[in-house]
Amino acid sequence: MDEDRKKYKIFAEDKKFYLGRIAVSDGRFSSVDLERELGDEELFSGEEDFLLPGLIDIHFHGCLGKDFCDGTREAVSTLAKYEAEHGITGICPATLTLPVEELEKVLGLARTYRDEGLKIGEARLLGINMEGPFISPVKKGAQNPNYILKWDDRIANRFLEASGGLVKYMGIAPEENPAFKDFIPKMQGKVRISLAHTNADFQTAVEAYRAGASHAVHLFNAMTGLDHRNPGVVGATMEQKEVFAELIADGVHVHPMMVRLAFTVLGEDRVILISDSLRSTGMPDGLYDLGGQEVEKKGKHCRLTSNGALAGSVSNVYDCLCTAVKEMGIPLRKAVTAASLNPARSLGVDQDYGSITVGKVADYLIVDKDLKQKAVYQAGKILPIF
């Protein structure tokens, strides 16, 4: 048993912070001794460090010059190492809109990587988020329009089979796939259907959610917005109480006021912070490939050179968490919930990940009161990166 007698400000299962101690045995928390709850005014006072659960990013594409859809072992390993080094110990990378055969290759490689088991120093591959290809050409954003498809049951099941069950989310634009009331119920228990890159009006989005869709891809981005006469996909997402919504809090994609609005209206249990990071993350300014399209990175912005459309981010979920807290006024407790417990719940792995709780896997971070990371642990073992 590895027992840490230091006291920490611990993020517990009830989404509150407590002063306490932990012990780890066989890679899991064997003891979590919580002495007393900490009020918001106490969180950033005192000398104790924070002990946070390892974060989970359920939507990102790449970093350090690599993209998940490169379809190589090197690319997946590069992504997994980068994420772990930044406190993201669980990952669910996103695919691009590409030819079916190419996507099957990417999914098959990910399945092989998953089957090899945990590699200390590389984030756990918990799933795959298929952002395309069943999306809208009107709201394609930075997705390649050449490979957009109408929904096809056979193709969808080919993706699920190729991944060996790793595909956890499959995006659709319901207005482009009017048979959604038939096929969404058939996918229940196989994969979460999300609304992604969609030009749907409010009523169509509501009907898709009522048919069983349960997830919204990067809320506010690449979807119909919140208007007082047509609440759009954003309004439908806010109204449906069982729907999780991804949110990019990098300070570029969504205005701070709208981030605060999302947390207020959806509540702390439905927001999932994501990065939507591209291969240009961690790289110098310049030109990069995104699914066969050219993207230019300038500082924190990535845009298609063809039309100036905003592409993904150059951030990571831990940086998004810090931005949400320090620059957008989101309480630390809510931001941590949105970057750890909520994605774990959405993926269906919260029995093992997402909070500091006896029996859960000991993936966690040590962070000082300025939110600077001091250590990252996987299965109770410290990563040699600090």
Question: Rounded to 5 degrees, what angle do the CA atoms 59, 194, 250 make?
Answer: 35
Consult the annotation and say whether 215 binds a ligand.
Answer: no
Consult the annotation and say whether 310 binds a ligand.
Answer: yes
Consult the annotation and say whether 142 binds a ligand.
Answer: yes
Consult the annotation and say whether 218 binds a ligand.
Answer: yes
* CB neighbourhood size of 178 (10 A): 11
Consult the annotation and say whether 221 binds a ligand.
Answer: yes
Consult the annotation and say whether 262 binds a ligand.
Answer: no
For residue 233, the 8-state DSSP code is H
Q: Which residues contact 254 (CB under 8 A, 6 or more apart)?
A: 219, 220, 221, 247, 248, 262
127-141 burial string, b = 16+ CB within 10 Å, else e?
bbbbbbbbbbeebbb
Q: What is the DSSP string of 279-295?
A: TTTTS-SEEEEETTEEE
HSE value, Cβ hemisphere, 13 Å, CA-based, for 181: 6
Alpha-carbon distances of 9 from 6, 12, 352, rounded to whole Å:
10, 9, 20
- Residues 317, 88: contact at Cβ < 8 Å? yes
Burial class (CB within 10 angstroms; exposed 0-12, middle 13-18, buried 19+) of 22: buried
For residue 339, the 8-state DSSP code is I
Prior bond to 133 cis, omega within 30?
yes
Consult the annotation and say whether 131 binds a ligand.
Answer: yes
Consult the annotation and say whether 312 binds a ligand.
Answer: yes
First-to-last C-alpha distance (Å) of the chain = 24
Consult the annotation and say whether 61 binds a ligand.
Answer: no
Consult the annotation and say whether 75 binds a ligand.
Answer: no
> Catalytic annotation on 276?
yes
Q: What is the DSSP string of 73-134?
A: HHHHHHHHHHHHHTTEEEE--EE-S--HHHHHHHHHHHHHHHHT---TTS-EE--EEEEEEE
- Residues 324, 257: contact at Cβ < 8 Å? no
Tell me which of 276, 319, 350, 363 is the catalytic residue. 276
Active site residues: 276
* Residues making up the binding site: 131, 142, 197, 218, 221-222, 229, 253, 310-312
* Residues making up the binding site for Zn(2+): 131, 197, 218
* Residues making up the binding site for substrate: 142, 221-222, 229, 253, 310-312
